[in-house]
Structures are given as C-alpha cells and as structure tokens.
Amino acid sequence: MSSSPGSVQALVDHLFRHEAGRMVAILTRLFGIHNLELAEDILQDTLHQALKDWGQGPIPDNPSGWLMVVAKRKAINAVRRERLHRSFAKDMDALLKSEWTAAYTMDQVFLEDEIKDSQLRMIFTCCHPALPMEGQLALTLKTLCGFSIPEIAAALLTTESNINKRLYRVREKIRNEEIPFTVPAGQLLLKRLDAVLLVIYLLFNEGYNSSGDNAVIRQDLCLEAMRLAVLLTEKAVTNTYQPVYALLALLCFHSARFDARMDTNNSLIVLEEQDRSRWNRELISQGLQFLSQSTGGNQVTAYHLEAAIAAEHCLAPDFPSTNWTRIHNYYTELEKLKPSSVIRLNLAIVTGKTDGPHAALRLLHNLEQNRALDNYYLLDASLGEFYQQLGKKEEAGTYFRRAQQLTRSTAIREVLEKKIARL
C-alpha cells in the first residue's frame, strides 16, 4: 500500500469511525465510566500515532489490529502511570493494580466477545433514561460512533459549542448520578432496551429525514444506527427481544431506498417517481428476514407497524400496485398505539389513496385546525397535493408555497418548486 499523506488521512478517518467505538468501550470497561475522558485521550493519542507512523513508513497489513495493539499498549502505560492516584472500574481496579493479574486482565478485555460486551454496556450507559435525550444522542455519536464534534453538530443540526455543552452536561450527570457502566438485568432490561431502541430510531431518522445538507454525514448516521441495532442481535442478553428485529427490519427497508431517493443533483425524488430497480434488493430481503424474526411474540410495537408499512412499499413492483388498504390498516393501528399528529397526517395521506382526495382533505383540514402541525411543511405540501389532484390550482399553489417557507431543506424546496411549476 502506498502511503501518501492524503491516503493515510483518509484511511485513518475511515478506520477511526469503525474502531473508535470499540476502543472507547474497552478502555471504559477497564478504567470505569468516571474515567471516560482518559479513555478518549488514549483514543486520540492512538489516532495521532497512526497518522504519524503510517505517514512515514508502510501502512500495516492489518490496520485495525495495529490500532488495537497500540491502544492496548497505551492503556497499560496509563495504568502504570495512574495507578497510585486513580481508581479504575470497580471490578477491575484490584486486578489492574496487581502485577499478578494486570496483563491477563488486559488481554481478556481485548478479546472479541468481550469487546462486544463492553460496547453493549456503553450503549446502555449512553442511552440511560436519567440523561436528557439530546445528551443521549450526542454522547452516543461521540463514544459509540466515533463522530467528531463538528460531525455531531452537522448531524444534529446545531452548533459545535452547543454539542460541547451537551457533552459536558451529560458527562457531569453520569458522574454525579453515578450511572453505572453495566447492562441492566431482569425486568429493568426490557425497559432500558426500549430506551436504547428509541435512540437508535432517532439517530436513523435524523440521518434519513433531516434537512441537513451534508449527505455523507447523513448516510453515516444511518449506517451507524444500523450497526448499533445489529450489535443488539449479536449478544444473548438482547437478541431475544423481538422489537429489536422489528426496528432493524425498518432500518433495512428505509436504507434500501437511500440511493434511489436522490437524483444526480442530490435532489430528493418522491416515492412515486423513484426508480425501483435502484432499490437495494439485498437490504430488502434482509429486512424481510428480520421482520419475520420480529413476529411470533404477543407484542406489536410501533416498530413492527412502521416496518410492515415500509415492507409494503418495498414489495410493491410499482407505485400504482401498492397495497394501500393494508397500509391504511397499519397506520390506523399505529395511530392507536402512538397517537401523534404526524401519524394522523400520514393516515390522512394514505386515506387519499384508498378513499380519494376529498376524504384526505377533510382529515388534513382537521389537522390544520388543530394547529399541532403549524410549522410542519408536510401538512401544507399534502394539502397542496390533494388540491392539485382535484384540479384546484390556486389552492394547491398557495399551500405548496407555504410549505416551501416552512422547510430548511434545499432538496425539499426544489421538489416543491417543480410541483408549482407543473400546476
């Protein structure tokens, strides 16, 4: 492999995203969550050494392995340096501080299966319900997904200083409330697992639907959310919980359409006009596999219903042959389970397919009067759409223009611009 500075930087960036979460999880397992900063320092240090060494000499055959070996060596040094004035993880402290057991303990924690165990602990810690949701999202991206501060800011559509503040507050809260670095057990496990699923769901949605202009970051967000969900299926404590598979199925179906949603100018293509041959068949069949693994229990969650809806879209050979009746039923169930204005909005749109534009407009105007979706462009865009179907160009134009003013996404504004032009 050649090692021009650019390619080294690119390789390190790529590897870093993949290895950072694993390394921080292991180091936190050793040092304890109260020493999260020490873990992150070692990670940064390892990265700098990779940039330096690989820039000068040949790139190692197994770069991931190299990073792990270096991180481990730095961890051993940190233990030697800090052993007299720091306490490490409660169940590791004595073992790391004795020459009898230090090396063995270190080796054990770096074993593949233990790494997954540490990552699982990290997921449950980052998604602890005692932490504010925005803090959970930022911390998950930082520690589990290896996002830098500017990347988190881009992903969550806020400023770097805001992200720094959120991370500072959330770390302080972990210390003050003594949030443990453990996987909960018993009844608590399922409740906490629901909190984890919610964070994964929100991260994915942020990537999939956000109005951010950084397409690379948004795709990375989706991939990372999927990776975390897959991790939950790999460990015995979490892989019997069926909603995990329902969520994963949902993420697969959405991801399958990721590329087909964008044209060459990075503009959004609506479902109706997407080239279905560009949908990723492999992801769809994986999604169906997960969906079948998610059923059989007595629990139907919102993830099950949303996955079922997405599956209907993925399985329809073309837009007109979509089974709208079945989708309508799923949305009706979903609305009962998780009553929200956004779901009522979707239900109204689907009603337009099953019962015609008049029925849809009735529901949409009800929503408009509720005012809960006052600033949501999709309500106005939908009203415009159905007025257009009835040939009422003036009303349609008014709503499309209002929708345009409500969205920050250039891609969506362009879609609306096209619709106005076609009136």
Partner 1 sequence: MNQFLIIVKGSDHSVASQEKMQKRLERFGEWVQKVLNGRFVAGAPLEDTDARLLKSKTEVLTDGPFLESKEMISGYIVISANDIEEATELTKKCPLLDEFQLELRRMKPMAQ
Round to whole Å and give the CA distance between 289 and 199: 23
Whose tokens are 């997954």? That residue is 116
The reply on whether position 388 binds partner 1 by CB under 8 A is no
Phi, psi of 172 (to 5 degrees): -60, -40
**Is residue 97 near partner 1 by the rule CB under 8 A?**
yes
Query: For residue 147, which of 137, 132, 158, 133 has the smallest C-alpha distance?
Result: 137
Q: Is 197 exposed, middle or buried (0-12, 13-18, 19+ CB in 10 A)?
A: buried
User: Shortest approach of partner 1 to residue 89 CB, angstroms?
Assistant: 12
Binding piece for partner 1, criterion CB under 8 A, among 1-9, 104-112, 259-267, 300-308: 104-112
Q: How far is the CB of 103 from partner 1 (least distance, A)?
A: 6
Query: Which C-beta is closer to partner 1: that of 97 or that of 328?
Result: 97
DSSP state of 378: H
Provide, rounded to whole angstroms, the least separation between the CB of residue 88 and partner 1: 14
Report the C-alpha gap between 23 and 29 in whole angstroms: 10
Output the smallest distance, CB 105 to partner 1, in A.
Answer: 7
Least Å distance, CB 108 to partner 1, is 7
Which of 100-108, 122-130, 143-151, 248-256 is the region at the interface with partner 1 (rule: CB under 8 A)?
100-108
Q: Within a 10 A sphere around the Cβ of 335, how many other Cβ atoms? A: 17
Asked if residue 182 binds partner 1 (CB under 8 A), the reply is no
The one segment of 44-52, 93-101, 139-147, 150-158 that binds partner 1 by CB under 8 A: 93-101
Closest separation in Å from C-beta 83 to partner 1: 12
44, 64, 77, 98: residue in contact with partner 1 (rule CB under 8 A) = 98
Give CA–CA dist 387/144, Å, rounded. Answer: 46
CB of 86 vs partner 1, minimal distance in Å? 16
Task: Kindly tell me which of 83 and 235 has the beta carbon lying closer to partner 1.
Answer: 83
Distance, CA of 316 to CA of 326 (rounded, Å): 12
Q: What does the block give as tokens for 91?
A: 């169940």
Under a CB-based contact definition with an 8 Å cutoff, are residues 321 and 298 in contact?
A: no
Q: Least Å distance between CB 382 and partner 1?
A: 59
User: 400: exposed, middle or buried (C-beta count within 10 Å: 0-12, 13-18, 19+)?
Assistant: buried
Would you count residue 323 as binding partner 1 (CB under 8 A)? Answer: no
Rg (C-alpha) for the chain, rounded Å, is: 24
Residue 98: CB atoms within 10 Å: 11
Q: Which residues contact 383 (CB under 8 A, 6 or more apart)?
A: 361, 364, 365, 368, 395, 399
Closest CA to 410 of 418, 397, 386, 343: 418
The answer to whether the beta carbons of residues 355 and 367 sit under 8 Å apart is no
Rounded CA separation 99/368 (Å): 70
Q: How far is the CB of 117 from partner 1 (least distance, A)?
A: 14
- Member of 30, 36, 39, 95 binding partner 1 (CB under 8 A): 95
Give the number of residues in contact with partner 1, rule: CB under 8 A: 13
By C-beta, is 96 or 163 nearer to partner 1? 96
List phi, psi (to 5°) of 190. -65, -40
User: Interface with partner 1 includes 112 (CB under 8 A)?
Assistant: no
Residues 133-162 that bind partner 1 (CB under 8 A): none
Q: Which residues pair with 262 in a beta bridge?
A: 268
- Given 6, 62, 99, 272, the residue binding partner 1 (CB under 8 A): 99
Rule CB under 8 A: say whether 230 interacts with partner 1.
Answer: no
User: What is the smallest separation between the CB atom of 98 and partner 1, expressed in angstroms?
Assistant: 5
Contact between 104 and partner 1 by CB under 8 A: the answer reads: yes
The reply on whether position 103 binds partner 1 by CB under 8 A is yes
Encoded amino acid at 350, one letter: V
Query: Taking CB under 8 A as the rule, does residue 108 contact partner 1?
Result: yes
Residue 91 interacts with partner 1 (CB under 8 A)?
A: yes
Residue found under tokens 């397919």: 353
CB of 30 to partner 1, least distance (A): 15
Nearer to partner 1, 94 or 230 (CB): 94
Q: Is the dihedral of CA 413, 416, 422, 423 positive or negative?
A: negative
Stretch that binds partner 1, among 89-97, 190-198, 210-218, 411-419 (CB under 8 A): 89-97
Binding footprint of partner 1 on the chain (CB under 8 A):
91, 94-95, 97-101, 103-105, 107-108
